[in-house]
Structure 1
Amino acid sequence: MNLRDALQSLWVGACLLAGLPANATEWAVGESSVHTRKGQADGPDTLVISGPWGASTLPFNSSRTPLDVLNGSQDGSIRLPGLVLSADADRVIHRPPRSHLPLDARTDIATSGHRITIHRGLRHCVVDLPAGWAMEDWTAERLPRDVATSTQAALLMPGRSSPVSLLPMRVDLNSCQVSRGRPIKRIGFDVLLQGHAGGWWLTSAVENSLLISTDGIRWKPMPLPQATHALLGAHVAPDGQAWVAVSQSDIGFRLRAYKRDGRTHGWTQAAMCEVPRTWVDFARLVAEDRLTDETPQPCP
């Protein structure tokens, strides 16, 4: 039995002792606990999150990861379909109307055909999508991946199938003015848009692709750290610092975290304890990997 098989056997035993099925993964998000369970046959996987605020059970598609139902936002809050939790995941700070989807603690979005309405406070910005372009099939059970907010703007990324591409549309949330960029190639079916104070990120773990933009209109590729085998996750903290989680061929395809900010031109390897808690998906990556080259430790 090799090391990986031995550790997998230990994991199965630990799950049984803890009362969890061997196909479950458990981790913490702030004051809340999360566990996912593989679906039966063709059924969806399930994520259960519980904390002082209550609990929620959410089905999701494993090929798109739990980010469809549990994700952070540019202001540090934590989003689920139908509600937004505080950064500590200890209380509900926002419940959007039933027909709205949350983008952050202050901003919701709703759709009616090709008309999009973005709600922030008393401001309601109405955007009509160009003919031939459409947002993803938004549902009340899933967080939208093709729209995000920054401190002053929202960015829409409607797509089209021929040619396969995305259209950047930035909405100023003070004036409701819309600015369009040129279509860009869609980088993967699992594309995820993120906003922050300094700009925007567009990622696809399936295609190992990362694009960045300072204005949401002009985009360029961002090289990944050397020896990257797979992009496992990416995050932009509210302060604008960028993070990626990758598996690397030079350490047996194990998990590593890297960081960079606007003052540097390359990636710096980060200790696991440095990863910001606003990256709500990182603890899942550590829990699922279980063979990291560094045991997560609290920062001094």
Structure 2
Amino acid sequence: MRSRAINALPALLLALAWSGAARADDFRLGKLRVTERDDGLIVRASEPVALAALGSGRYWPPLVLDSRGRLHAGAAVVDAASGRVTRHAGVTLALPHGVSVTVRGQGYRIRRGKAGCTVRPAALGLGDGKTAAAALHDGNVKFVPSATGLVALASWLGWDTRDTRYMATAIDIERCRLRATPLGNPDLLVELNHSPGAGWWITGSIEQTLLRSRDGRHWRPVPLPQGLSSLVSSYAVDAREIWLAGIHDADLERDPLLVHSADGGRHWRNVPPGDPLLARLPVGWLEGQRRLPRP
């Protein structure tokens, strides 16, 4: 059952109370060590970067990785190779490809270089009564850029799951032009991501859905394997190679619970521990990296 947007948490959640967490587990992200706890993540970089867990796989600040493994957490950018942290003052989100999003009044100020554009939540398909800050915090809007474009995925959550609606909007920052594509209610859409070789994709976790787009406007479903369940994340490397984090075949309960296609989704296979294919696991995919077998 899909719930309505989670109420905004106090700002003090940005500084996590790590001592109160019951579970702690470490994994590698490039050369970084990441500690996962019940209340969030802490990235062990040149200075710690903390993210609070908001449920349903979401964090605050929002977490975006680029294809080179650089971690973007709100205004902080962490280089996975060196561990160096760069903080961008006055910016809400410092995204890949030099894009920034700043909550300004009742809108989002989006910039890339000298180009800028201000977009109001209603223009992205968000319902009335949702402030720009609350929509971003609650995960009702996600922004993911490419080298030349930007896509926003907005969700309008009704009282009933059947009333939930999604809209993907391609944003031309230079011309401040928005081109919206209503997606209807295909699934509980939990993830928007991008890679240079594949374009954008959206993951749905209830009906096991994967939608892909090259331009942010035209979306097509990718056939997923029969027997797939518990899908939480996807990663499309290019037109042919796709990874899934989920369970394929309920009788096979072996970590790291990764599924792979080399032909654009026509054929799939489980990737067990020790498989040489794991060496190709995308460094920019958090859910994949945390499933790698640990020594």
Distance 1:71 1:156, change over 3 A: closer
Match of 1:47 among 38, 41, 44: 41
The CA deviation at 1:193 is 0.9
Q: Determine the structure 1 residue equivalent to 2:135.
A: 137
C-alpha separation in 1, matches of 2:268 and 2:261: 5
Q: Determine the structure 2 residue equivalent to 1:158.
A: 154
Correspondence 1:154-233 to 2 at 5 A: 154-162=150-158, 163-185=163-185, 187-188=187-188, 191-197=190-196, 198-233=198-233
Q: Is the 8 A contact 1:211 1:219 kept in 2?
A: yes
C-alpha separation in 2, matches of 1:144 and 1:238: 27
Alignment deviations for residues 1-42 of structure 1 (CA, whole Å, 9 cap, x no partner): xxxxxxxxxxxxxxxxxxxx972211111121111222xxxx
The CA deviation at 1:206 is 4.6
C-alpha separation in 1, matches of 2:155 and 2:140: 13
Distance 1:65 1:180, change over 3 A: closer
C-alpha separation in 2, matches of 1:240 and 1:120: 30
Task: For residue 282 of structure 2, give the secondary structure of its aligned residue in structure 1.
Answer: coil
C-alpha separation in 1, matches of 2:216 and 2:279: 31
Q: Is the 8 A contact 2:110 2:116 kept in 1?
A: yes
Q: Determine the structure 1 residue equivalent to 2:284.
A: 278
Q: Is the 8 A contact 2:72 2:78 kept in 1?
A: yes
Correspondence 1:27-38 to 2 at 5 A: 27-38=27-38
Larger Rg: 1
Task: For residue 167 of structure 1, give the secondary structure of its aligned residue in structure 2.
Answer: strand
1:71 aligns with 2:64: yes
Moved more, 200-209 or 142-151: 142-151
Q: Determine the structure 1 residue equivalent to 2:274.
A: none
Q: Which runs of 5+ in 1 are unaligned?
A: 1-20, 39-44, 287-294
C-alpha separation in 2, matches of 1:88 and 1:144: 32
Q: What TM-score do you get using the length of structure 1 for normalisation?
A: 0.71
Q: Which amino acid aligns with 2:235?
A: H
C-alpha separation in 1, matches of 2:140 and 2:244: 21
C-alpha separation in 2, matches of 1:91 and 1:62: 28
Moved more, 144-153 or 130-139: 130-139
Q: Is the 8 A contact 1:79 1:85 kept in 2?
A: yes
The CA deviation at 1:284 is 2.0
Distance 1:25 1:145, change over 3 A: farther
Task: For residue 48 of structure 2, give the secondary structure of its aligned residue in structure 1.
Answer: strand
Q: Is the 8 A contact 1:205 1:232 kept in 2?
A: yes
Task: For residue 273 of structure 1, give the secondary structure of its aligned residue in structure 2.
Answer: helix
Q: Is the 8 A contact 1:247 1:256 kept in 2?
A: yes
Distance 1:129 1:84, change over 3 A: same
Q: Is the 8 A contact 2:58 2:139 kept in 1?
A: no
Distance 1:87 1:47, change over 3 A: closer
Q: Is the 8 A contact 2:27 2:35 kept in 1?
A: yes
C-alpha separation in 2, matches of 1:186 and 1:225: 17
Task: For residue 210 of structure 2, give the secondary structure of its aligned residue in structure 1.
Answer: strand
1:109 aligns with 2:101: yes
Q: Is the 8 A contact 1:145 1:193 kept in 2?
A: no
Moved more, 24-33 or 257-266: 257-266
Q: Which amino acid aligns with 1:171?
A: I
The CA deviation at 1:228 is 1.6
1:258 aligns with 2:259: yes
Q: What TM-score do you get using the length of structure 2 for normalisation?
A: 0.72
Q: CA RMSD in A?
A: 3.3
Alignment deviations for residues 184-228 of structure 1 (CA, whole Å, 9 cap, x no partner): 22622x621112334211113355322222222222322223332
Moved more, 154-163 or 259-268: 259-268
Distance 1:221 1:248, change over 3 A: same
Distance 1:195 1:274, change over 3 A: closer
C-alpha separation in 1, matches of 2:264 and 2:231: 23
The CA deviation at 1:248 is 2.3
Distance 1:273 1:256, change over 3 A: farther
Q: Which runs of 5+ in 2 are unaligned?
A: 1-20, 272-276
The CA deviation at 1:96 is 2.4
C-alpha separation in 2, matches of 1:73 and 1:173: 19
